[in-house]
């Protein structure tokens, strides 16, 4: 029986509870772990089986598309358009990996009597984020199943109902021996699971602070850790850029999921010659976007931030910005008059970038810094301690390639913000994370090798 201690699910659209959830008990968790460990590896032994199961999961998501869309809107406040896109994005990881593993060589002969077998490290422990409550799960399970391992998924409390719906359809299709879910806010229980012998790889998406704690615990137990953590992501507009395109891309990227994405930019560096024009265009664009309750506004352009705590943190950060001398150039009327955690997009002009280089803005708030010295700018960008993503716009392709040389960011977009995809590796450097997700690189994080030499008389 599940724990009867019911926990409220709060909708960011209303600020009120819309459902409840109950926690997995330690006894239930042990049973789940035993089942996945004993059954998943055998069923996933062949690459063809992995491919088949990945496609089956993709088809299940499509079958329940409307339910997932409604949950994503209600639970995390994405717009209805964003929720529809997330379903497609979720499926893309599964279908890509299904195709990739269908031609995967699981054994490589390196001598006449010696093979190297590529094998899974063990059951995956997948700790997923709230901002992509479905895609955040599928991008990890694609890698894990592709490697030949089942997984225990620990979904976020803020995305628990979407994850529970996913859990339910897997059970109905009798796939819960491949993928099982741990619903808990008990940190001690998670630590115990990380130490379990059955767990092979731990994958986490979330804040740098939590990621450091988890990676330390994983290392203590000699477990490989993959972490996509917080990012300080600069966006650069040089004087020879197509300013209209740059601003259009910046605005779309910044308001997606109300700025609650690891790869969202939080500071814009704009060259002095085009600064006035750029700032005015951003102010005009932001003025036309209002945060809305996405479960009641079908054509909302942007939804709420996820929690009351996040909203209050934004107000506190704004106060800090104003005290530092920052000038609000867009979004001066952010105080909501409605229920829910609504915050219209805002932009602040700053003279020095440090305040935005020390704090990840997981919200629709943008810092703008004007620069003149390109070499000094490059040094600022290179010194970033959380280099996850970088965007740079210029019509000079040769210069852009020279500019980014030696800048270790996990993903770089040149005149484009579409840096992610199921076929591409994502992750960061330094405090932005370790390891990679996506593509064949993500699969490799869950595998290791066995050296087999054969001698028969």
Place of tokens 């299940």: 60
Residue 2, pLDDT score: 43
Give the chain's end-to-end CA distance (angstroms, integer): 56
Please list the residues that pair with 180 across neighbouring strands.
Answer: 152
Please list the residues that pair with 368 across neighbouring strands.
Answer: 268, 349
CA dist., res. 301 & res. 124, Å (int): 37
DSSP state of 207: -
DSSP state of 71: H
How far is residue 326 from each of residues 126, 254, 441, measured CA to CA in Å?
Answer: 40, 19, 41
CA dist., res. 207 & res. 399, Å (int): 33
Residues of 92-130 as b/e, b for ≥16 C-beta within 10 angstroms? bbbbbbbebbeebebeeeeeeeebeebbbbbbbbbbbbb
Would you say 98 and 55 are in contact if contact means Cβ atoms under 8 Å apart? yes
Backbone torsions φ then ψ of 363, nearest 5 degrees: -170, 170
Instruction: Indicate if the pLDDT at residue 337 is higher than 90.
Output: no
Instruction: Indicate if the pLDDT at residue 3 is higher than 70.
Output: no
Confidence of residue 1 (pLDDT cuts 50, 70, 90): very low
Would you say 57 and 216 are in contact if contact means Cβ atoms under 8 Å apart? no
* pTM (predicted TM-score): 0.95
Q: Of 12, 13, 82, whose CA–CA distance to 299 is shortest?
A: 82
Decide: residue 186, CB within 10 A, 0-12 exposed, 13-18 middle, 19+ buried: middle
SS3 59: helix
- Kindly report which listed range (2-6, 220-224, 393-397, 422-426) carries the lowest average pLDDT score: 2-6
Cβ-Cβ contacts under 8 Å for 393 (sequence gap 6 or more): 235, 236, 237, 238, 241, 242, 245, 246, 249, 414, 415
Q: Which helix (H) or strand (E) covers residue 391, if one does?
A: strand 389-393
Q: Which helix (H) or strand (E) covers residue 170, if one does?
A: helix 160-172
Q: Which helix (H) or strand (E) covers residue 95, if one does?
A: helix 80-101
Instruction: Indicate if the pLDDT at residue 169 is higher than 90.
Output: yes
Instruction: Indicate if the pLDDT at residue 165 is higher than 60.
Output: yes
Return the CA Rg of the chain: 23
* Percentage of the chain exceeding pLDDT 90: 95
What ranges in 180-295 are assigned the alpha helix state H? 187-195, 208-220, 243-255, 275-287
Strand ranges, E, within 128-254: 151-154, 179-181, 199-205, 225-228, 234-237
Q: Which helix (H) or strand (E) covers residue 56, if one does?
A: helix 47-63
Q: Of 294, 336, 367, 346, whose CA–CA distance to 11 is shortest?
A: 294
Residue 104, pLDDT score: 87
Residue 457, pLDDT score: 74
Task: Name the CATH superfamily for 234-421.
Answer: Aldehyde Dehydrogenase; Chain A, domain 2 (3.40.309.10)
Q: Could you tell me how many residues make up the chain?
A: 457
Instruction: Indicate if the pLDDT at residue 82 is higher than 80.
Output: yes
Domain spanning 26-229+432-453: which CATH class is it, in words? Answer: alpha beta
Query: What digits encode the pLDDT tens for the residues 110-160?
Result: 999 999 999 999 999 999 999 999 999 999 999 999 999 999 999 999 999
CA dist., res. 301 & res. 252, Å (int): 10
Residue 450, pLDDT score: 97
User: Under the phi-then-psi rule, with left for phi > 0, alpha for psi from -120 to 50, and beta for the rest, what region is 222?
Assistant: left
The domains of the chain are located at 26-229+432-453, 234-421
DSSP state of 259: G
């Amino acid at each position: 029986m599940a724990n009867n201690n019911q926990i409220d699910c709060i909708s960011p659209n209303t600020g009120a509870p819309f459902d409840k959830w109950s926690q997995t008990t330690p006894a239930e968790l042990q049973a789940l772990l035993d089942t996945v460990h004993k059954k998943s590896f055998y069923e996933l032994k062949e690459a063809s089986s992995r491919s088949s199961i990945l496609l089956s999961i993709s088809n299940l998501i499509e079958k329940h598309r409307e339910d997932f869309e409604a949950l994503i809107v209600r639970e995390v406040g994405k717009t209805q358009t964003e929720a529809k896109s997330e379903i497609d994005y979720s499926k893309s990881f599964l279908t890509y990996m299904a195709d990739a593993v269908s031609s995967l060589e699981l054994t490589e002969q390196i001598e006449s009597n010696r093979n190297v077998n590529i094998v899974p490290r063990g059951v995956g422990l997948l700790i997923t984020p709230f901002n992509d409550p479905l895609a955040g799960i599928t991008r990890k399970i694609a890698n894990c199943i592709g490697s030949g391992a089942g997984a225990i998924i620990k979904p976020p409390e803020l995305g628990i109902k979407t994850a529970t719906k996913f859990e339910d359809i897997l059970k109905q299709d009798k796939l819960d021996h491949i993928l099982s879910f741990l619903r808990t806010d008990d940190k001690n229980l998670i630590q115990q699971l990380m130490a379990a012998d059955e767990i092979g790889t731990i994958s986490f998406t979330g804040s740098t602070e939590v990621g450091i704690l988890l990676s330390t615990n994983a290392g203590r137990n000699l477990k490989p850790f993959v972490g996509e953590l917080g990012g300080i992501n600069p966006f650069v507009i040089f004087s020879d850029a197509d300013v209209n395109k740059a601003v259009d891309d910046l605005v779309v990227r910044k308001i997606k999921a109300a700025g609650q994405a690891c790869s969202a930019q939080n500071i814009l560096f704009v060259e002095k010659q085009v600064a006035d024009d750029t700032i005015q265009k951003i102010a005009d664009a932001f003025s036309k976007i209002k945060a809305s309750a996405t479960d009641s506004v079908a054509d909302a352009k942007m939804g709420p931030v996820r929690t009351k705590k996040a909203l209050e943190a934004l107000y506190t950060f704004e106060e800090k910005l104003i005290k530092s001398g920052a000038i609000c150039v867009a979004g001066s009327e952010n105080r909501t008059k409605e229920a829910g955690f609504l915050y219209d997009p805002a932009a602040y002009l700053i003279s020095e970038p440090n305040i935005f280089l020390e704090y990840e803005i997981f919200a629709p708030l943008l810092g703008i810094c004007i620069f003149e010295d390109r070499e000094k700018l490059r040094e600022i960008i290179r010194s970033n301690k959380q280099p996850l993503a970088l965007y740079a716009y210029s019509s000079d392709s040769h210069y852009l390639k020279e500019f980014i040389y030696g800048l270790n960011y996990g993903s770089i977009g040149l005149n484009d913000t579409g840096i992610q995809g199921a076929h591409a590796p994502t992750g960061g450097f330094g405090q932005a994370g370790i390891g990679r997700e996506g593509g064949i690189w993500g699969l490799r994080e869950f595998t290791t090798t066995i050296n087999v030499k054969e001698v028969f008389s």
